Amino acid sequence: MRCAIFGCGGLGPYAIQIAVRSGAFVVALDVSENKLKLARAAGAQATLIANDTAIEKLGSLGGMHACINFAPTAATWPMRIGGIRPRGRIVATAMVSALVPVSQEWLTGTGV
């Protein structure tokens, strides 16, 4: 199972540890290289800077079975929907004040 953890400060490192100990291959994403160092120390097998190239990189890994967001920004949404595989799970734990573009047709059509 491949799991992407978005946001590697605060609760992100704990989620990384739980996912790794559950047997998942964990890809950690953040905008901060320092937080990605913490993610690697927590056990993430791969790290990515959360930017426009992350979608392609997540796809090249075969897509994620789960994307879990701890980053308090709507900017991670395109990366999550671009990196999830069909029938994958997206968990949004962080509250954001900006609108998040969710398409009911996309959710239904992909089974996410």
Residue-wise pLDDT for 49-70, tens only, equals 999 899 999 999 999 999 999 9
Three-class secondary structure of residue 38 per DSSP: helix
Q: How far apart are CA 70 and CA 106, in angstroms?
A: 22
pTM for the whole structure: 0.87
Q: Give residue 96's pLDDT band: very low, low, confident or very high (50, 70, 90).
A: confident
